[in-house]
Chain A
Amino acid sequence: MRRLLYLSWVEVLHVVRDRASLAQLLLVPFIQLVILANAATFAIHDTPAAIVDLDATAASRALSQRFAASPHFRIIGGPRSVAGADEALRSGEATMVLAIPRGFERALVRGEGARVQVQLNAEKGSAAGIVQSYAQRIIARFGAERGEREGTAPALRRIDVQTRGWYNTELDYRQYMVPGILVALVTLVGTLFTAQNIAREKELGTLEQLNVTPISRAEFIAAKLLPFWVLGMAELTLGLGLGAAVFGMPVRGSLLLLLGVAAVYLVAALGIGLLISTAVDTQQQAMFVTFFIMMIYLLMSGLYTPVDSMPGWVRMAAEANPVKHFVEVTRAVLIKGAGAAEIAKPVGMLGAFAAGFFGLAVWRYRKTA
């Protein structure tokens, strides 16, 4: 035990003495958290929009006013014609064009059903979709209110759909993203460090000398894992604190429960790193392999796009992704306030991964060739 602790302590020295490592471990995750949490949001503000009002009536101006008042749009001045609006779309000056045709007000008053046209630059597919839904919402509400006020369409008593997001009532993306980003960062940094670790000893030649010592394989791997596990836990704890204090990330469930699961999860994540490290010869190789694996793990984690909307075989493969299970647990505990019973399944999976990866790393690390 004394030996294990001393070996771990030396690992800490290696990190502390290397400024680049230290910065990578401590500073980078937090800087990235701040940047990503504010940038990685699906909400879209200030979309440049052009309005071509060919009707020029009280009603058309009222609709234009609605768009101007919305935080989602910023109306650019200018085009008076359809051709001008087309040009604004093409040049990128406007992302959306709203065209209100002549006779808009008259049609409204007569209850004939008025039409407007919305054109979008759909270069960025998902963003265009979101902008479209904002526009539709504004137009629909405008129409409904007019209809009620003027009583022009009592027969078409519209069905009022009230949506309410559970657990995250405002659908605040930051609430949703911050825990996920935290998980991704801790995973990436932890895995990268452990992946480079044994490879570094191979490069230095110290592994050759260490191998001719009575230290056992499991002890060696454990000594490599322990310091990064402690650092990972500390980082996660700090990150959760920062997330709650600065980003208003909700903490509805038990933090202690979450940290308990994190303890298991980190063994799995660091085990992957150590497994990579035993298989490669240089730190550079370790880095490439780690980035490759992390890329797949993160994309298939449900962090950015829901796993449920992926094809069947991807969903099956995602079950073998510890990041996915931990993201699930994190969101469940933080946002939904889930207790131990509700997260039993992913936690069980994480436990299996932890044991599996650690065991594989020990097995793969041979002291004889």
Chain B
Amino acid sequence: MSAPAVVAESVTRRFADVVALDDVSFDVRAGELFGFVGPDGGGKTTLFRILVTLLLADSGRASVLGLDVARDLWAIRRKVGYMPGRFSLYPDLSVEENLQFFASVFGTTVEAGMPTIAPIYDQLAPFATRRAGALSGGMKQKLALSCALVHHPEILFLDEPTTGVDAVSRREFWDLLADLRGRGLTIVVSTPYMDEAGRCDRVALIQRGRLLGVDEPAAVARSFSGAVLEVRSRERYRALLALRAFEHTDTVHLFGEWLHYTDRRAGNGIAADVVAHLRTNGIVADVTPIAPTIEDTFIQRMGAPEAA
């Protein structure tokens, strides 16, 4: 394999007395689709801003494409594509004009960038003369992605690209990312949505400025310790309250239509025990063991330092 595309060593950054990033180390392989998953305020944006040379770390080192983010910022800026978390195009310019603007900022043209952006731009082409401000959320994201790609970057940084976008557009967007990755582009993406983590080659769980682990999505799910029980009940909310009050409960949270539950104890017969506890509270429920998801793992790891 070639050299890693991104290397971070003990990156730390504080804002006043808040530690936004605490001793963060990881590396992203070339050609990888690498995801940062974590709640808002976890440090994802701060990390991205350091990697794209907008912010300096207080301590630690980071490099992108073998270039130091503090020293070689001008070289990095020519080679990265960056899509900030907020929609950041000119609403009063048309789709074409926005694209042309970013192409010219990078000293290139839309025509030269077309091979890279064609699969995305084809979907935007019918709206070429429409003002960016009048596009739908999903279309805006696609335009922003086109603008970030128009200069043939070697690596793409996308900070929460799908936040506030509908489910169908989100899926389409991830399909586009998979396509770009298939063509050899390294992509670093962050998301608060657990279901999107499964589409990355590797994910890093990040919370309160700390990396809780980096692994393949399946491995993250497998790393779950213990068993997850799915609790199905018509009275979902009452069941949640009842289980929160249960002395053996480790975690319990809403998961889609049902609840996911983990117990402090190990061993058999726990499912029956939970059913019994719910019945004493007058709730009828069906409890079955299931394979843990990334989200279960994440909630378990997130909860761990607090309980300690």
Contact = CB atoms under 8 A, between A and B. Distances in A.
Co-assembled chains A and B: yes
B78 A214 contact: yes
A14 B80 CA distance: 27
A2 B148 CA distance: 20
B130 interface: no
Given A204-B90, A369-B54, A210 B105 contact: yes
Given A3-B104, A212-B82, A213-B102, 6 more contacts: A3-B107, A14-B92, A205-B84, A206-B90, A209-B83, A214-B105
Contacts of B86: 205, 208
B132 to A, nearest CB: 10
A13 B73 CA distance: 30
B48 to A, nearest CB: 10
B93 A13 contact: yes
Given A2-B104, A214-B74, A369-B56, A18 B84 contact: no
Contact of B89 (A206, A212, A213): A206
Interface string A1-26: 01100110010011001100000000
B53 interface: yes
B118 interface: no
Contact of B97 (A3, A10, A204, A209): A10
Contacts of B53: 212, 367-368
Interface in A33-63: none
A211 B78 CA distance: 11
Contacts of A3: 104-105, 107
B95 to A, nearest CB: 14
A10 B101 contact: yes
Interface string B170-212: 0000000000000000000000000000000000000000000
A45 B73 CA distance: 68
A138 interface: no
B79 to A, nearest CB: 9
Q: Report the contact-size class of chain B (Cβ under 8 Å from the partner).
A: 20 to 34
Contacts of A215: 105
Contacts of B101: 6-7, 10
B65 interface: no
B286 to A, nearest CB: 47
Contacts of A18: 92
Contact of A214 (B52, B77, B90, B92): B77
A214 B97 contact: no
Q: Considering the complex of A and B, which 10 residue pairs feature the smallest CB-CB distances, nearest first?
A: A205-B88, A205-B86, A6-B104, A212-B82, A17-B92, A208-B84, A209-B88, A213-B105, A212-B52, A214-B78
A367 B86 CA distance: 18
Contacts of A205: 84, 86-88
Contacts of A13: 92-93, 97
A206 B143 CA distance: 13
A212 B77 contact: yes
Nearest to B87: A205
A201 to B, nearest CB: 9
B106 interface: yes
A304 B74 CA distance: 49
A18 to B, nearest CB: 7
A210 B90 CA distance: 11
Contacts of A209: 82-84, 88-89, 102, 147-148
Contacts of B97: 10, 13
Contacts of A211: 54
A2 to B, nearest CB: 7
B139 to A, nearest CB: 17
B4 interface: no
B92 A212 contact: no
Nearest to A209: B88
B88 A204 contact: yes
Nearest to B92: A17
Interface string A348-369: 0000000000000000000111
A307 B56 CA distance: 48
A10 B96 CA distance: 12
21 contacts: A2-B104, A3-B104, A6-B101, A7-B104, A10-B97, A10-B101, A13-B93, A204-B88, A206-B89, A208-B54, A208-B88, A209-B82, A209-B84, A212-B82, A213-B102, A214-B107, A215-B105, A368-B54, A368-B73, A369-B49, A369-B56
Nearest to A4: B104
A182 B89 CA distance: 36
Contacts of B78: 214
Given A214-B77, A368-B53, A14 B90 contact: yes
A368 B147 CA distance: 21
Nearest to B74: A214
Interface in A186-235: 204-206, 208-215
A368 B53 CA distance: 7
Contacts of A369: 49, 54-56
B113 interface: no
